[in-house]
Chain A
Amino acid sequence: MVRNASPTAIALQAQDAARVPLIQVRDLRKNYGALAALQGISFEVYPGEVFGLIGPDGAGKTTTFHILGGVMEASSGMVDVLGQKPRNARLNIGYLTQQFSLYLDLSIDENLRYVAGLRRVNEADLQQRREKYLALMGLEQIGGRLAGQLSGGMKQKLALCCALMPQPQILLLDEPTTGVDPVSRREFWDVLATLASEGMTIVVATPYLDEAERCHRIALMYDGQINEVGTLKQLRLNLGLQRLEVRTEDIPATEQVLMPLVEKQTADLVDVQMFGDRLDVLVKDPTQAEPEVRRAIAEQGIVCQSIQQSEVTLENVFVTRLRQQGSDPPFIPLPRRVRTDSQVMRSNGDVRSAPVAIQARQLRKTFGTFQAVKGVDLEIRYGEIYGLLGANGAGKTTTIKMLCGLLPASGGEIALAGQTKNLRSRELRKRIGYMSQKFTLYDDLSVVENLKFYCGVYEVPTGYRQQKIDWVLEICGLQGQENMLTGRLPGGWKQRVAFGASVMHEPEILFLDEPTSGVDPLARRQFWRLINNLAQQGTAVLVTTHYLEEAEQCNRMGFMVAGEVVIQGSPSQIKAAQPGQLIELRVDQTQRASSLLKTQLESWRVSIFGDRLHVVLDQPERELPKLQSVLAAAEIQLLAQRVVPFSLEDAFISVVQRTEMGTKHRVD
């Protein structure tokens, strides 16, 4: 932090010094054998603060949490939590680990009662806190339901409730929203904001950088070190760049045009980052750079829809810093065997005319009386990337399992690679790749043993095996570490290896169930380049994800709500089908403004995106002045407002919430 300290940062530091930190960490180190997981980190967290830890996979975030939570000893350095060693402060710490730490065969109430008993919370307090927190999480109606029957988002809320039971002074949250859908994610963070406003001190790690913008201060971790600490504002100032949001007809082509300008370093452009349907061009001087960008795009004959100047996002900061560190994982296309069969479509062909790879008609699944999937129709062609998006528990995984034959359907028809019968035949399975939500590598085997195993069971010809294994190691950056036990890899890296393992046999049909869950932003971009490359070679890809911005790269997609596909189409069709206009507001108190506006409008119309608010209005000319006066009356300052196009995430939030309220929309 000192390295990049700006005047404002120093001023803020001086202010901090007046308070006594609850957590103090000095030169903390941790070694696992020869591996230095933490190489001397220092920071402090003040009372009532939400402190974010962000960094790529394997940066040492989880190790830091283990030490703060008192479940692991540091190799050296000082850790002070509430004036004592973390082990002794444990009773005052609520700790949420990456895995759900719930008893799945107990009900919500029983889980709470168990924790209360363990932490010696008396009956009266238990009842009072149970009521308060369950109401806060929106779980008060379903206290008798088994934890195992809750969706991912609800489970994390219940786990938070359990952690809050003994009323700790500090909450440690290690990626609590990994694998949680965008709507539930926002609800979870609303809860965190409420808790923080009541004085709770929170340390949180998250792979979602828009969430991290809601932290008071953020530490950027890389390779066991903290490179920068500060408020969002400080981090932006430190970066010293502005952002041009560029929207064109052809985003990948535009990126191809602009990247050379960055590399030449003569122009004003510092970096170009793709975010779904837009490019963020980072520049030193936006007024000078904008005409340059316009000219370059026009020269290539690409239609530019809009260029807007704006402040950089945390993700911009993060990606730029990581690229400066040189940790951009390389993109190497999967080395392929020479194919003799011409059944598979080649690149540049029209996807629409390719044969159908995956087809489902009126697919249904019932578990007992519960209808998990209700009449889903899908048609995915070779060379197409289809995104199945939806809230946790909407039935995406169940649908995938039925399509690949792991789960018998209760009704409907499935055709896989032209076959309608015997979906479990060996010949068919050879042509399918599958990566399930859970890590599917053997933790007790080394990385290379895992890869050799999958090469073997998929009968990759022996001559190609080494080449494929080398490829996976290279895209994962694990060369030289291939003999490491897979169980010791950080979660995001396991995902990368698992992805590599599931495509080594060059599948024609690929099912990916949340492949990028918990993977850092740069590695996610690499994932999608690989997926795109596979599709160009003719693979049909069915993918689920909770990162809506990466879902923009799907050719077509369907939103699932409560077992039904409620809207289907290309990303632009889906966005175009959204009613009303989207207004982005920047205010000085985002959280308060959000709560206030939700009392004025239907709740799906207001959502927090990082440090901004997105509001969907049907008649902005009439409604906006009213909202402005509401904000003014509450002494919330409106810093900026502008009309922005719907992103997929906006569309997702409003579709899901509106459907849950009973309306249904269909395109196609």
Chain B
Amino acid sequence: MLRQFFASRFWALVRKEVNQIVRNKQLLIMLIVPPTLQLLIYGFALNPDVHHLKLGVVDYAQTADSRELVAALTENRIFDVEMVTFDESVLARQVETGKLTVGMVIPPKFSRDLAGDRPSPIQFFIDGVDANTAGIASGYIRQIVQQFNQQYLSPNMRVPISTQVIFLYNQGLTSSWFFVPGVMGLVLTLIGSIVSSITVIREKDTGTLEQLLMTPSEAWEISLSKVVPLFVLLMGDVLLALTIGRLIFNVPFRGNFLLFMVLSGLYVFVGIGVGIMLATLCQSQQQVVLTTFFINLPMVQLSGAIAPIETMPKFFQYLSIVNPLRHYIAIVRGILLKGVGLEALWLHVLALAVFAIGLLAISTNRFRNQLN
């Protein structure tokens, strides 16, 4: 039985593909380097938390109260005091030139106002160029000042309603835990579609496809022999991404490993399906690579890999339902972070299965029609 398999046409085709892939250093590099770099870059660089904002202080009061206020701001490492000056215009210029994010002016009568139970106005300049950061900074300032007020007024008074928020799954709210699963999906989509489209189109490019068609090989054998080695290699990429996520970003793995691999396999088929389909639409390697980027970018943007789907306009939120990457990312986050199984993910799994089967069927069929 096994002997028969190794003497078969299909095995000859698979071996040929494997030999070609092993010879193709570029392809192997492409399978290892870009996924690693992308994971590292996105994991480290994509961090919406705001820390260490540069704060400039003009403290005309110079009292214990005013120093306490500054301390309250810098306590959580949200603000770092970059400069202390007595010249408001210098402060303003520093904010203007972007050397400071926030400038704070404490008036001379600060302590006197507080002692006299009058509200004391404090002035903040915030660099609004980066709207996101500015918004977050002003939010923090409001919160900190409010807390300062409460504590100052009645250190021992009970607050009528207190919130006790508990963050589930990601207690430390480490943002890389959110990004790494998204980037894993992104990497698989990108690499899977490019690599598979290239291996298919190369045969067309060099004219060997015609010779292949004159051999007794069936079209399904030719297509499948291209899919199988790619599948194995891309599953290697899944493991690579998982390892980087575990070791470097300490992303937890709370779910079932087998389930994760099976569903990742399903998604790898989606990537290969996209790649083969593009290869049947294009005439040359150059064309196919460019087209792959054109397809991949919107797919990634609409997947929730980087920006949460909830922040998108309604139309795009609906559109993202037909994006297989969205479902895969939901699955990865579910298994890795929540440790849930099929009972919670079945809708995503179903969607993914439909996409995988559909894309692979359409693309191999198109490829076969080209062959015939």
A424-B372, A436-B207, A436-B211 given; A429·B216 CB < 8 A = yes
CB contacts (< 8 Å) of B208 on chain A: these are 440-442
Contact of A436 among B15, B16, B210 (CB under 8 A): B210
> Judging by beta carbons under 8 Å apart, are A434 and B15 in contact?
no
Chain A, 416-439, contact with B by CB distance < 8 Å: what is the 0/1 string? Answer: 000000001011011010101011
With both beta carbons as reference points, the residue of chain B lying nearest to A454 in the complex is identified as B215
Q: Mark A314-334, 1 if CB is under 8 A from B, else 0.
A: 000000000000000000000
The verdict on A432 contacting B16 (CB below 8 Å), with A440-B207, A440-B208, A459-B8 known, is no
| CB of A443 within 8 Å of the partner chain | yes
Q: Which of B208-255 contact A (CB under 8 A)?
A: 208, 210-218
Chain A residue with Cβ nearest B222 = A457
What band does the interface of chain A fall in when counting residues whose beta carbon is under 8 Å from B? 20 to 34
Number of interface residues of B (CB under 8 A): 26
A429 touching B206 in the complex, CB below 8 Å, given contacts A456-B12, A462-B7: no
**A383 and B71 alpha carbons, distance in the complex (Å):** 100
Known: A406-B210, A436-B207, A457-B216. A445 touches B20 (CB 8 A): yes
Chain B interface mostly helix, strand, loop or mixed? Answer: helix
What is the CB-to-nearest-CB distance from A502 to chain B, in angstroms, rounded to a whole number? 8
Q: How far is the CA of A53 from the CA of B207 in the complex (A)?
A: 30
A404 touches B214 (CB 8 A): yes
Q: Determine whether B13 belongs to the interface, using a CB cutoff of 8 Å to chain A.
A: yes
* Inter-chain contact A455/B12, CB cutoff 8 Å: yes
Closest A-chain residue to B6, C-beta based? Answer: A462
Candidates A406, A442, A457; contact of B12 at CB < 8 Å: A457
Select from chain B the residue with minimum beta-carbon distance to A462: B7
Q: Please tell me if the beta carbons of B213 and A406 are within 8 angstroms of each other in the complex.
A: yes
Which residue of B3, B16, B210, B216 contacts A442 across the interface (Cβ within 8 Å)? Answer: B16
Closest A residue by C-beta to B14: A456
Q: Are A456 and B9 in contact (CB under 8 A)?
A: yes
CB nearest to B218 among chain A residues: A426
Q: Is there an interface contact between A445 and B16, defined as CB atoms closer than 8 Å?
A: yes
CB nearest neighbor in A for B211: A440
A455: B residues at CB distance < 8 A: 12
Q: Which of B13, B19, B20 contacts A457 (CB under 8 A)?
A: B13
B214 touching A429, Cβ below 8 Å: yes
1/0 contact trace for B21-63 toward A, CB 8 Å?
Answer: 0011000000000000000000000000000000000000000
Q: Does B11 contact A (CB under 8 A)?
A: yes
A432 in contact with B207 (CB, 8 Å)? no
Q: Beyond A442-B16, A442-B208, is A406–B216 a contact (Cβ under 8 Å)?
A: no
A449 at interface, CB cutoff 8 A: yes
Assembly CA distance A440 to B207 (angstroms): 7
Complex CA distance for A459 and B20, rounded to whole angstroms: 20
Q: Is A452 an interface residue (CB 8 A)?
A: yes
Contact with B along A433-473 (1 / 0, CB 8 A): 01010111111110001001111111101100000000000
A459 interface neighbour in B7, B211, B213, Cβ under 8 Å: B7
**Cβ 8 A contact of A449, one of B3, B19, B207, B213:** B19
- Are B13 and A440 in contact, with the CB atoms below 8 A? no
> Closest A-chain residue to B7, C-beta based?
A462
Contact of A453 with B216 in the complex, beta carbons under 8 Å: no
Inter-subunit contact B23/A445 (CB<8 Å)? yes
Which chain B residue shows the least CB distance to A459? B9
- Cβ contact within 8 Å between A444 and B24: yes
For A430, the closest partner residue in chain B by CB is B216
Question: Residue of B at shortest CB range from A446?
Answer: B19
Compute how far the CA of A442 lies from the CA of B20 in the bound complex, rounded to whole angstroms.
9
Chain B residues in contact with chain A, CB under 8 A? 3, 7-9, 11-13, 15-16, 19-20, 23-24, 206-208, 210-218, 372
Q: List 7 tightest A-B contacts by C-beta distance, closest first.
A: A456-B12, A440-B211, A434-B214, A438-B207, A457-B215, A429-B216, A430-B216
A residues lining the B interface (CB < 8 Å): 404, 406, 424, 426-427, 429-430, 432, 434, 436, 438-445, 449, 452-459, 461-462, 485
> 13 interchain pairs (CB within 8 A)?
A424-B372, A434-B211, A434-B214, A436-B210, A438-B210, A442-B206, A445-B16, A452-B15, A456-B7, A456-B8, A457-B216, A457-B217, A462-B3
